[in-house]
Amino acid sequence: MELSNRIQRLKTSPTRKLNPYSEEAERKGIKIYHLNIGQPDIETPKLFFEAIEKFNGKTLGYAHSRGIKPLIQKIQEYYDKMGIHYEEDEIVITYGGSEAVLFTMLAIFDEGDEILVAEPYYANYNSFCDVLNVKRNAVRTYAENGFHLPNRDEIEKYITPKTKAYMFSNPSNPTGVVSTKQELDDIAYLSKKHNMYIISDEVYREFVYGDRKAISFGTYKDLAENVIIIDSISKRFSACGARIGCIISKNKNFMNAVFRECQMRLSAPTLEMIGAAALYDLPSEYFEIARKEYDNRRKILFEELTKMDGVIVKEPEGAFYVLAKLPVKNAENFAIWLLKDFNINGETVMFAPGEGFYATAGLGVDEVRICYSLDSEDLKSAMNILKEGLIKYRKEVER
């Protein structure tokens, strides 16, 4: 029996690619510091569970395909506080940001269309592009200058009449970049000029450090028809398992199409939407505490990485990731070696190899994405393992 061509194009996620090696190591009793997966370890606020416990319906039914009203209204209020007003029919609730990206892409792209991206980018964008047969026109960015965009003229070279959208995450997974106002202005100018959508994935909006600010594309009022915002509670409220996200846009035609997609899968999870609505009642101090914690980890990580011989890394600005260039020929082989052949007192560390975050074959082979969703002490131990591992690997394996 044959499978579709579409599904044969779909590759294993780079963040989970090394799981067989980690499972084998764990079977042998090795403790692994998982720096490969972007799952926050901060507790999900109790409000979420309490709201679900209060549910007293006799039947757990489908909700409205668009999502439950109380959650949509909470999201409206949340955006109102940012100075951006959306009407109820400009928001639909999805199964996480993941379904929001999938529905958005399904609504925009035909097979063979093109998408403008800056590589490296969130690896699952590759999966969606592969399944839908969308070609990535990838503008290269570099570890050496913190993965910021090149100038507007350079980006424009990658746009053709078939390029229908620019998609990016801000703050960025996997690089930790927070887009500057100039970068957003450049994208705004190009999307207007070339009639492109902007798919602005803002799921890490709250996690920015220092005096930076993540500027939402929703603030670009003259681009209302172009802008589509992808949002989610997974990272914002440490609630990845709830699977609640949303699509937001003022483009009525697009939102009508998305609504029809929502109808085809009936409804998002009813109880989790109730829990999610409660989360939007958290005071802003919640984010202050979470931000402080991530910022502390970010500083530890950056400090430790810059001390390592040959590692190239710029200070991460947002989200909870850093993409570091390592002094090895092949970071995936090194990551496998760490899981198979190296440990310190029965402990080792796991990273996501960088290659899966690129569109262009051969790029990112000496890079790893490190997620700092571990507490400070564990992070320090993990960095020590990386440092010692690098020394041994370069001396004994990759001489």
Ligand X SMILES: Cc1ncc(COP(=O)(O)O)c(C=O)c1O
Cβ-closest position to ligand X: 96
Identity of the residue, 98 or 249, whose beta carbon is nearer to ligand X in the bound complex: 98
Minimal distance in Å, beta carbon 203 to ligand X? 5
| Smallest separation (angstroms) from ligand X to the CB of 204 | 7
Q: Give me the DSSP letters along 105-166.
A: HHHHPPTT-EEEEEES--HHHHHHHHHHTPEEEEEE--GGGTT----HHHHHTT--TTEEEE
Q: For ligand X, which is the closer residue by CB, 272 or 378?
A: 272
Greatest Cα pair distance, the chain, in angstroms, is 67
User: What is the rounded distance in angstroms from the CA atom of residue 32 to the CA atom of residue 101?
Assistant: 31
Task: Report whether 218 contacts 250 (CB < 8 A).
Answer: no
User: How far, in Å, CA of 230 to CA of 90, rounded?
Assistant: 12
Question: Which residues are paired to 93 by β-bridges?
Answer: 246
Query: Could you tell me the two tokens for 126?
Result: 């590759």
Number of other residues whose CB lies within 10 A of the CB of residue 276: 31
**Min dist. Cβ of residue 207 to ligand X (A):** 11
Closest CB to ligand X among residues 141, 348? 141
Q: Which is nearer to ligand X, 239 or 305 (CB)?
A: 239
Smallest separation (angstroms) from ligand X to the CB of 262: 15
Q: How far is the CB of 219 from ligand X (least distance, A)?
A: 19
Q: In the bound complex, what is the minimum distance in angstroms from residue 96's beta carbon to ligand X? A: 3
Between 126 and 232, name the residue whose CB sits nearer to ligand X: 232
Name the H helices within the chain. Answer: 5-8, 19-27, 46-53, 69-81, 96-108, 123-132, 152-156, 181-193, 252-264, 270-279, 285-307, 331-341, 376-392
Smallest gap, in angstroms, from Cβ of residue 171 to ligand X?
A: 9
Residue 193 CB-density burial (10 A; 0-12 exposed, 13-18 middle, 19+ buried): exposed
Residue 221 and residue 236: Cα distance in Å, rounded?
24
Task: Give 116 or 385: the residue with its C-beta nearer to ligand X.
Answer: 116
Contact 271, 93 (CB under 8 A): no
Q: Could you list the residues that contact ligand X (CB under 6 A)? A: 38, 96-98, 122, 169, 173, 201, 203, 232, 234, 240, 245
Nearer to ligand X, 120 or 389 (CB): 120
- Closer to ligand X by CB, 291 or 340: give it: 291
Q: Which pair of tokens denotes residue 272?
A: 């989790």
Smallest distance from ligand X to CB 117, Å: 12
